[in-house]
Structure 1
Amino acid sequence: MSNQERAEHHQGGVYSSKGNLFERDTRYITTRIVRQPTPGQDAVAVEPGRYRLIAAKACPWANRALIVRRLLGLEEVISVGMPGPTHDADSWTFGLDPDGLDPVLRIPRIKDAYLARDPHYSRGITVPAIVDVTTGKVVTNDYAQITLDFSTEWTEFHREGAPDLYPEHLREEMDAVMKRIFTEVNNGVYRCGFAGTQEAYDAAYDRLWTALDWLEERLARQRFLMGENITEADVRLFTTLVRFDAVYHGHFKCNRNKLAEMPVLWGYARDLYQTPGFGDTVDFQQIKEHYYVVHTDLNPLSIIPKGPDLSGWLTPHGREALS
């Protein structure tokens, strides 16, 4: 496995380069955590205090889970462990914690929890992952389902006034919007960054900007992706947008323009960033350290850029006028 492959082995899926194109291995552990598991269902029961979310702030896929947990007020019932911003070819590690051990699981790397579940586990050691504290075993790393289950299966423990992030009457349209965001934007920036040929990069670049222009137009007439209220769709888009100027614009060569040069998307992203649960789960230094240190094929000397100036995230956005 090359350095480039290793760089993607732990972040949302396994990188592969068939035909010099970026592909993401989406074979996850699909065990779910639900209110009432049914016979034959690959699921365990919701139980406060039993599960620990492992989610690195640097990773956009893990950042989603941190945001949803915070928005729904699940902090008291689902604990969180945070690996450092970088990892080696083996696993994310808990280097930010005392003695390099997660203080609850008492392990130095998340891979240990994967191997506790399956000593022969051979897929990606990814975050986010949810670990059963009572057994030390990973329950699931299916990041898309994790946040949907937080919204729909943990409702008994939501804070008063928590948003409905996956409203039933919008699900059909939401699912289509989120699918396009995943394929064209969340994954699109990686398709640009890890393109193996000029032709692959050119095609990926065009796809990405077609999608971003579509979003600029959609959000010009409504405050959030599905209307007046924040939903799961906004969470999924935000974690890519918040990394765009700091990382994807330069590091992944997604450089037609910066996010800050797209008036609608820039205002929308700031609106979310200034909403409790979004900006307070973002750490720009960890984000930059992760991408510029781990992706050694793209940045062989692991030099972390000092810029760009990120102070604009707290400036007025004016999006309230659309509500």
Structure 2
Amino acid sequence: MTYVPDRITSKPGHTQDGYGGHELDVPTWPVEPDRYRLVAARACPWANRAIIVRGLLGLEDVLSMGLAGPTHDERSWTFDLDPGGVDPVLGYERLQQAYLARDPGWDKGITVPAIVDVPSGAVVTSDFPSITHDLFFEWRDHHRPDAPDLWPDDCREEMEAVMKRVFTDVNNGVYRCGFSGSQEAYDEAYDVLWSTMDWLEERLTDRRYLMGDRITEADVRLFTTLARFDAVYHNHFKCNRNKLTEMPALWGYARDLFQTPGFGDTIDFDQIKRHYYVVHEDINPTGIVPKGPDPSVWLTAHGRDRL
């Protein structure tokens, strides 16, 4: 596991699958029901992953969740969706307060998702790949009995390779397009993005999910980008070779997941658009939020069950 350098990270509480922490000298928090709070935001694709995995695994009763609003300033995500603008469990107005409780000198990014230790009010980790990984491996004693196997042993190596390409070229690729500082950088990111989108289109033509006939963590990671593609990335990030709706396999696949319990019910297109079009003032200085596209298209028949 590679940890993002500018995110607060920690060692897992225990290692049922031998998965270890990183090399930093940091505290170890044990896995305990009702001790931690997942702070997320429906607007954020990285946080959306954690929301989906928490629900698929049935961890709602052992890991509470707080949701930040879609817009924020440079200081951090805020709990403006809650009464009085205060998270009812943490008592915080800003996620920044949890970071400062862990490190009073923290001057880097304040990101979601984040796992917060409720007794101390301190952030435990904000490393988004490790959060969903740990929810599966470290919290497995608390999964619901029929929870899906999001990390199947028989295809783990291939899945890791697929997720790596999806992250580099698609999840992060749309951001590389949107925040390119030069035409050359944009052109390169654009070409890489669409090369992988075409690869995914071909891969999903004859298989229902990325790894075959079952939903895995790979599908969760791709879905949160696809859900935002036409509403945001196509226009706002200039990823406009074509729309997702114009790619038969990918569009059918995205709708199939959207209509699967635990996926589409985590998506709020209004919050997603408000986040990107309002917060990214350098890209959209007017702050105007587009009215479209029509979200009802996500509920149309996908025909993927034939696979």
Letter in 2 for 1:248: Y
Give the whole-Å Cα distance in 2 for the aligned partners of 1:144 and 1:214: 23
Task: State the one-letter code of the partner of 2:179.
Answer: F
- One-letter amino acid of the counterpart of residue 78, structure 1: L
Distance 1:36 1:299 in 2: 45
Query: How far did residue 28 of structure 1 move?
Result: 2.1
Give structure 1 regions of 4+ aligned residues with deviation exceeding 4 angstroms.
Answer: 36-42
Q: Deviations over 1:124-176 (max 9, x none)?
A: 10000000001100000011000011111111111121001011222211111
Hey, what does 1:97 align to over in structure 2? 82
- Residues 1:265 and 2:258 are matched in the alignment: no
Cα distance, 1:199 vs. partner?
1.4
Counterpart in the other structure of 1:9: none
What corresponds to 1:79 in structure 2?
A: 64
Structure 2 match to 1:212: 197
Residue number among 295, 312, 318 corresponding to 2:280 in the alignment: 295
- In structure 2, give the amino acid aligned to 1:301: T
Aligned length: 299
* Alignment pair present for 1:202 and 2:187: yes
Q: Which residue of 1 aligns with 2:7?
A: 28
- Whether the aligned pair in 2 keeps the contact of 1:245 and 1:308 (CA below 8 Å) is yes
Contact 1:35 1:154 in 2 (8 A): no
Structure 1 residues 110-259: aligned runs within 5 Å: 110-259=95-244
Cα distance per residue 1:216-235 (max 9 Å; x no partner)? 00011111011110000000
Aligned partner of 1:68 among 44, 49, 53: 53
Instruction: Give the distance between the partners of 2:266 and 2:85, measured in 1 at CA.
Output: 22
RMSD across aligned positions (CA): 1.7
197-206 or 134-143, larger mean C-alpha shift: 197-206
Give the structure 2 partner of residue 88 of structure 1. Answer: 73
Alpha-carbon distance between aligned partners in 2 of 1:216 and 1:314, rounded to the nearest angstrom = 20
**Whole-Å separation in 2 of the counterparts to 1:200 and 1:33:** 37
- Given residue 7 of structure 2, which amino acid in structure 1 is its aligned partner? Y
Aligned to 1:3: none
SS at match of 2:236: coil
**Which residue matches 1:8?**
none
Which residue identity is paired with 2:193?
L
Give unpaired runs (5+ residues) of structure 1: 1-24
Flag the 1:251–1:26 CA change in 2: closer, same or farther, 3 A: farther
- Partner SS for 1:138: strand
Opposite residue 28 of structure 1, the aligned amino acid is: R
SS in 1 for 2:284: coil
Deviation sequence 1:76-109 (CA, Å, 0-9, x none): 0000000100110101000111111000000100
The CA distance in 1 between the partners of 2:294 and 2:235, in whole Å, is 14
TM-score of the superposed pair, with normalisation by structure 2 = 0.94
Q: Distance in 1 between matches of 2:137 and 2:182?
A: 42
Q: Secondary structure at the match of 1:149?
A: helix
Q: TM-score, normalised by structure 1?
A: 0.90
Displacement of 1:301? 1.0
Query: Match of 1:276, as an amino acid?
Result: P
User: Distance in 1 between the 2:85 and 2:116 partners?
Assistant: 18
1:280 maps to what in 2?
265
Q: What corresponds to 1:47 in structure 2? A: 32
Counterpart in the other structure of 1:18: none
Query: Bigger shift: 64-73 or 200-209?
Result: 200-209
Task: Give the match's secondary structure for 1:139.
Answer: strand
Counterpart-to-counterpart distance in 1, 2:119 and 2:199: 46
CA distance in structure 2 between the aligned counterparts of 1:42 and 1:81, rounded to whole angstroms? 23
Pairwise CA distance, 1:35: 3.5
Q: Secondary structure at 1:54's aligned position in 2? A: strand
2:49 counterpart letter in structure 1: R
